[in-house]
Amino acid sequence: MAKQIRYGMVGGDLHAFIGEVHRKAVNFDTRAELVAGCFSNIPEYNVETAEAYCVDKSRVYDDYKEMAAKESSRADGIDFVSIATPNFLHYEVAKEFLLHGINVVCEKPLCFEVDQGEELVKLAKEKGLLFAITYTYTGYTMTKVMKEMIAEGKIGKIASVNAEYAQDWLINELAPVEGAAENLSVWRKDPKFSGVSNCVGDIGSHIENYVHYVTGLKIKRLLATTNTYGHALDLNSNIIVEYENGINGAYWCSQIAMGHLNGLVVRVFGELGSLEWQQEHPDYLRYTPKGGAPQNLSRGDGYIKEKAGAGSRIPVGHPEGLYIAFANIYRNFISALIDKKSGQGCIRRGLPHGFGRFVRRPLYPRRHRQRKEQLRLGGALTNMQVRKDFIIVSQNNLGGTIDEKDSCISFGSNSCNEPRRLWHKNHNRLSRRLRRSRGSKEPRYSRSQRRPRLDRRCHDLCRGKGC
């Protein structure tokens, strides 16, 4: 079956780092298909990557300009392009595709100059196009929980921010050994390709984006030291910032911090409490209310609200990680694109139709549980079943009223038989209740109408074995 969305890539050949992450992230939700690319400036790498992804030869381009021109003139041209090239190409490649009317997902850091970024924003607005930047860490569920809690005033007025991003993968750059293999690729070393910074541009940009995303704070001015250790660009930096509202924050980013792998840590201190998130333990958020004990909130638990919890794909306790964070950014982008294509504007948020979400809630006594289900029938969620300590919910297509046809279930089990039995039991019960609540004129959905969806879902779960 043809996918809903077609996309192309610039950069990200099989030998590169982040391009592969983009492709895997898109594939998590199987709604978009890679159909075109200019994956590398090295022709062999370009062809090799295209072959690995079965991209038709006629849509493999030597040059991104040719790709933008040809793809925009095809009836089945790409809906969006993903840009995973070194920094210096982001602006010019993004601009080229926008000018040709193609939506863009681009790697960070977006541009070398603020003017360039503003120009891209203006262009995207004028052309009515979507533009996303893959600031990975905003895709985590607990990041979204942190943002929600701050907005709800859980920690009160923000008093201070402290954030660090510590890595040690460039430690050898402190004392390079002649002839030894280098970690730092050529483009990252050279201001022409990397911009005015290596370390701050590469990982400091994540700190700035993250803090702004969760708090809304905007930097007014800053004071920074950058350490280059004899190289052209920085490997370590300490930054003190002042936000527009007058409070201060301190950021540290380093790629020579021995013993640290990918240690993004953000701490926000307020008058009523504090929050801390660590990228290496992304399913947890440390919350300390004023006068109370520190609490470790976890992804997928009952106190996580609908919007933030939408990014949670598997039950808590099963680590998700970077691929899912990336996939969540793509999922939101692709949902918005599908809405845009269908003329609905960007109204859908959260889960696309039919995608399940796992939320663990405390077990209620049976009486209370039933009551809870009844209450939920009037809401936007179709709450289908309580199984062990998991309530597994699925979301209506566009929120709003319950549509029986949309009330499909995502099962939290690998076994086909039990979900099948539970599905019938719960679906029939829910159908009866819905009909009762809507009056007897509501159409009945026959067993044969429901079966195909069930069979397909079972098939997905057991991958065709014994279903």
64 is a contact residue toward ligand NAD (CB under 6 A) = yes
Hey, what are 256's tokens? 């020579």
16 is a contact residue toward ligand NAD (CB under 6 A) = yes
> Is 202 or 404 the residue whose CB approaches ligand NAD more closely?
202
> Is 257 or 381 the residue whose CB approaches ligand NAD more closely?
257
Report the alpha-carbon distance of residue 427 to residue 408 in Å, rounded: 9
Residue whose C-alpha is closest to residue 297's, from 275, 313, 279, 318 = 275
> Is 8 or 270 the residue whose CB approaches ligand NAD more closely?
8
Please give the size of the binding site for ligand NAD, defined by CB under 6 A: 25
Range in contact with ligand NAD (rule: CB under 6 A) among 14-22, 145-153, 218-226, 302-310: 14-22
Hey, what are 333's tokens? 């982008």
198 is a contact residue toward ligand NAD (CB under 6 A) = no
Q: How far is the CB of 12 from ligand NAD (least distance, A)?
A: 5
202 is a contact residue toward ligand NAD (CB under 6 A) = yes
> Is 14 or 272 the residue whose CB approaches ligand NAD more closely?
14
Q: What are phi and psi of 73, to 5 degrees?
A: -95, 0
71 is a contact residue toward ligand NAD (CB under 6 A) = no
Report the alpha-carbon distance of residue 211 to residue 207 in Å, rounded: 6
> Is 91 or 358 the residue whose CB approaches ligand NAD more closely?
91
> Is 107 or 373 the residue whose CB approaches ligand NAD more closely?
107
Range in contact with ligand NAD (rule: CB under 6 A) among 81-89, 96-104, 263-271, 368-376: 81-89
298 is a contact residue toward ligand NAD (CB under 6 A) = no
10 is a contact residue toward ligand NAD (CB under 6 A) = yes
Range in contact with ligand NAD (rule: CB under 6 A) among 83-91, 94-102, 147-155, 306-314: 83-91
Longest alpha-carbon distance in the chain? 82
Q: How far is the CB of 89 from ligand NAD (least distance, A)?
A: 6
Q: How far is the CB of 45 from ligand NAD (least distance, A)?
A: 6
85 is a contact residue toward ligand NAD (CB under 6 A) = yes
47 is a contact residue toward ligand NAD (CB under 6 A) = no
328 is a contact residue toward ligand NAD (CB under 6 A) = no
Among 38, 334, 337, 351, binds ligand NAD (CB under 6 A): 38
Report the alpha-carbon distance of residue 205 to residue 239 in Å, rounded: 12
108 is a contact residue toward ligand NAD (CB under 6 A) = yes
Q: How far is the CB of 57 from ligand NAD (least distance, A)?
A: 17
Report the alpha-carbon distance of residue 237 to residue 228 in Å, rounded: 9
309 is a contact residue toward ligand NAD (CB under 6 A) = no
Report the alpha-carbon distance of residue 334 to residue 337 in Å, rounded: 5
143 is a contact residue toward ligand NAD (CB under 6 A) = no
Q: How far is the CB of 324 from ligand NAD (least distance, A)?
A: 13
279 is a contact residue toward ligand NAD (CB under 6 A) = no
136 is a contact residue toward ligand NAD (CB under 6 A) = yes
Q: How far is the CB of 49 from ligand NAD (least distance, A)?
A: 8
Among 71, 107, 164, 373, binds ligand NAD (CB under 6 A): 107
Q: Cβ(349)–Cβ(307) under 8 Å?
A: yes
Among 82, 87, 197, 298, binds ligand NAD (CB under 6 A): 87
Range in contact with ligand NAD (rule: CB under 6 A) among 85-93, 143-151, 383-391, 405-413: 85-93
116 is a contact residue toward ligand NAD (CB under 6 A) = no
Among 78, 84, 142, 166, binds ligand NAD (CB under 6 A): 84
Half-sphere exposure of 61 (CA within 13 A, CB side): 18
Range in contact with ligand NAD (rule: CB under 6 A) among 13-21, 70-78, 382-390, 421-429: 13-21
Name the site residues for ligand NAD (rule: CB under 6 A): 10-13, 16-19, 38, 40-42, 45, 64, 84-87, 89, 107-108, 134, 136, 185, 202
